[in-house]
Amino acid sequence: MTTYTLAFKPAIGLYGQHDPSAALFEDGDLVFAVEEERLSREKHAVDTFPERAIRAALDHAGIDLPAVDRVLLPYDPSLRSNILPHYVRDAVRVDGALRKVTAVENVVKTQLESRFAPTRRIESRLADIGTPVPPIETRPHHACHAASAFHPSGFDEALVVTIDAKGEYDATVVWHGDEDGLERVRTYEHPNSLGLFFAAITEYLGYRMFNGEGKVMGLAPYGEDDPDIERTLRSLVDTGVDYDVTELTRRWGTGYGVRRLEAAFGRDRNDAPEAFTQWEQNLAHTAQKLLEETVLDIIERHAEVAGTANLAVAGGVALNCKLNKRLRESPAVDELFVQPAAHDAGLALGAGLLDQRPSQVPTMETVYHGPSYDTGDIRTVLEMNKIAYSEPGDVERHIAERLADGALVGWFNGRLELGPRALGNRSILADPRSIDSRDRVNRFVKHREEWRPFAPSMLESAVEEYLVDGERAPFMISAFDVRPEKRDEIPAALHPADDTTRPQTVSARQNPRYHRLISEFEALTGVPVVLNTSFNDHAEPIVNTPTEALKDFFGMGLDVLVLQDMVVTKTDAAVKREARSVESL
């Protein structure tokens, strides 16, 4: 008899504010996972219960909620009491007797709610989906991050490090993983949070926390060492294995940290992050440098004690691909696995894996865990909306020819990816050989800052030819140096400031159709690489449905759209007509 485990991460109350998701396991095997934002169409699905994601998971298996044997939540409210001393100390620091009393009352209220309210609230929301509600169990936040990294890594033993803004009370945790599971080695407690440190820098530079950190990482290579900036920033934080960033992170959120940065630098926060001064670029460079310095020291010190050179990483900070490059290149690390959904959306995976023996969990090869759409249904949408399409006998060859001619292509195929990267199923593709491709995608397709780089998808067999110390990298989550003699072949897929790249390597085993497309492009051009960015407009989640793909296609500067076996191209008349309305699937 099949057993079902539903794991999901809400974004309500104590469960955090962003990136809710749901995952379904059949007899312990992951069969479906999706982020709520892909269904709600609200970026990060802030302050949202993942009802759509839960329903999609149940629909995939053809079951209703009562058929689920247990529900797992990747947050243990009982652990919140560990953070009480900090909040009490922070409350009594507040100026003014009335404000001090109010602050203490809020601390007490929050602690009571964390003990008694959360699970009841979840039960109530689940009852709207189906009754009776299955038993609900909780798992510690950082333990779920750790399981999401270690269990599917393929390692028998590893050092595991989880780094984010905050779990129940912890912000960075070092673990030892082996065949028996995970053992906590060291805990850095909130508010000593590297995630909040980088979030404060992000907000100071004009972006939003939990959304703009990747932009700051991308900005960093444009900067350079600035002794005055570094001296000031180091006066606020201590780096290394015993780091302390609480001078910027003492209170939850980033307002306090931004004010401290404004006072220290004598400059107001940037309110217009469309363009950056050299000083702001240098600040991003310095913040990235201090983050890398700290995490590298934590890992190198603990790897020596743990006696293993395998490293697994998760938590929102692990999405920093420049940091991951430094970790991969460390002499202390032989093998690195970074959970591709390292942010909070990956917690549902970890919750479902945590109780399993790591050796029984398959190595993660892909992240194609979301919804898919039948070719016949897609054809119905096209015909119902009177959208002209063709069905070439060899779609991959046809699209490779269009890419080689300079076309910008929307590529929609198979199951939706989990995580922040499009990996060849919901992608926008272009010719990597021309800087013009990069600039056109930024300006006319993604409608974003023109300084931001793009990444390549390359055949796995070409890794050593193009990358320095190249290795298999299927999840586009670590940066690499590109061999100097190959840079002129793929300029559109390099970071303009340092000539690094964040590749996805593609094998026939991993994604046969995408592999064949890139192979056909190589046959035409001699270059086994395509530029690949996520299929979405600026500030929008990656598209999920064919209808969303069509709407973005007609609203963007794309030339061609591939929907499974069908190809749609633009004419001026079609753009005017189809942009008005596309019926949903």
Banded pLDDT at 85 (limits 50, 70, 90)? low
Residue 71 φ/ψ region, left for φ over 0, alpha for ψ in the -120 to 50 degree band, beta for the rest: beta
Q: What pLDDT, in 10s, does the model give residues 186-208?
A: 999 999 999 999 999 999 999 99
Please state, in angstroms and rounded to a whole number, the distance separating the CA atoms of residues 550 and 546: 6
Say which amino acid occupies 278: Q
The phi, psi pair for 433, rounded to 5°, reads -80, -10
Order of strands, sheet of 21-26, starting from the edge strand that comes earlier in the sequence: 29-35, 21-26, 4-9, 70-73, 136-138
- Looking at the predicted structure, is the pLDDT value of residue 212 above 50? yes
Using DSSP's 3-state secondary structure scheme, residue 542 falls into coil
Handedness of CA 155, 157, 161, 167 (dihedral sign): positive
Confidence at residue 450, expressed as pLDDT on a 0 to 100 scale: 87
Which residues, at least 6 apart from 275, have a Cβ–Cβ distance to it below 8 Å?
none
Least-confidence region, from 138-152, 176-190, 250-264, 332-346: 250-264
Kindly report the CATH number that applies to the domain delimited by 371-569: 3.90.870.20
Query: CB atoms < 10 A from the CB of 439, how many?
Result: 12
pLDDT digits (tens, 9 = 90+) for 94-117: 555 655 456 545 555 555 555 545
Q: How many CB atoms lie within 10 A of CB 158?
A: 27
Structure tokens at 462: 């070409």
Task: Tell me what pLDDT residue 110 has.
Answer: 58
Q: What is the pLDDT of residue 576?
A: 46
**Residue bearing the bigger pLDDT, 287 or 447:** 287
Assigned architecture for domain 4-140: 2-Layer Sandwich (3.30)
Which residue do the tokens 């949903």 mark?
584
Q: What confidence tens digit (pLDDT) does each residue in 317-355 have?
A: 999 999 999 999 999 999 999 999 999 999 999 999 999
- Determine the pLDDT at residue 152: 98
pLDDT of residue 410: 98
Q: Which residues contact 151 (CB under 8 A, 6 or more apart)?
A: 350, 353, 354, 356, 358, 361
In eight-state DSSP terms, residue 579 is T
pLDDT confidence of residue 327: 98
The reply to whether 495 belongs to the active site is: no
Query: Which of 314, 287, 178 is closest to 230 using CA atoms?
Result: 287
Question: What CATH class is the domain 194-338?
Answer: alpha beta
How many CB atoms are closer than 10 A to CB 3?
Answer: 12
Please tell me the pTM assigned to this model. 0.94
Residue 506 in 3-state DSSP?
strand
Residue 580 predicted with pLDDT over 80: no
Q: Given phi > 0 = left and psi -120 to 50 = alpha, else beta, which region is 16?
A: left
Contacts of 368 (CB under 8 A, 6+ apart): 414, 415, 416, 417, 418, 423, 425, 511
d(CA 459, CA 430): 15
Specify the pLDDT at position 575: 47
DSSP E strand boundaries for 36-189: 70-73, 136-138, 158-163, 170-178, 181-189
The pLDDT of residue 249 is 96
Answer yes or no: is pLDDT of 80 > 90: no
Q: How far apart are CA 503 and CA 483, in angstroms?
A: 13
Which pLDDT value is given to residue 115? Answer: 53
Asked if residue 583 has pLDDT above 90, the reply is no
Residue 15 has a pLDDT of 85
| Over residues 216-236, mean pLDDT | 98
| C-alpha distances out from residue 525 to 405, 406, 456, 518, 533, Å | 10, 12, 15, 10, 20
Query: For residue 573, what pLDDT band results from cuts at 50, 70 and 90?
Result: very low
Closest CA to 477 of 312, 283, 294: 312
Are 225 and 234 a contacting pair, CB within 8 Å? no
* pLDDT mean over 52-65: 98
Q: When comparing pLDDT for 565 and 273, which is higher?
A: 565
Residue 475 near residue 507 (C-beta atoms within 8 A): no
Beta carbons of 455 and 503 less than 8 angstroms apart: yes
Cβ 309 vs Cβ 303: under 8 Å: yes
- What integer pLDDT is reported at residue 100 of this predicted model? 47
**pLDDT tens per residue, range 398-421:** 999 999 999 999 999 999 999 999
Q: How far apart are CA 101 and CA 35, in angstroms?
A: 40
Q: Which range, of 3-17, 264-278, 564-578, averages the lowest pLDDT?
A: 564-578
Element (H, E) at 30: strand 29-35
Between helices 321-329 and 278-306, what is the axis angle to 10°?
40
Give the residue extent of every domain in the chain. Answer: 4-140, 194-338, 371-569
| Average pLDDT, rounded, for the chain | 93
Determine the Cα–Cα distance for residues 543 and 223; give it in Å rounded to an integer: 33
Is the pLDDT reported for residue 255 higher than 70? Answer: yes
Identity at 484, one-letter amino acid code? P
Task: Report helix, strand and coil shares of the chain as percent, to nearest 5.
Answer: 45, 15, 40
In the three-class reduction of DSSP (H, G, I as helix; E, B as strand; rest coil), residue 25 is classed as strand
Please determine whether the domains at 4-140 and 194-338 fall in the same fold group of CATH: yes
Tokens representing residue 494 in the block: 């390099």
CA distance between the termini of the chain:
34
Residue tagged active-site, from 18, 44, 86, 151:
18
What pLDDT was estimated at residue 272?
84
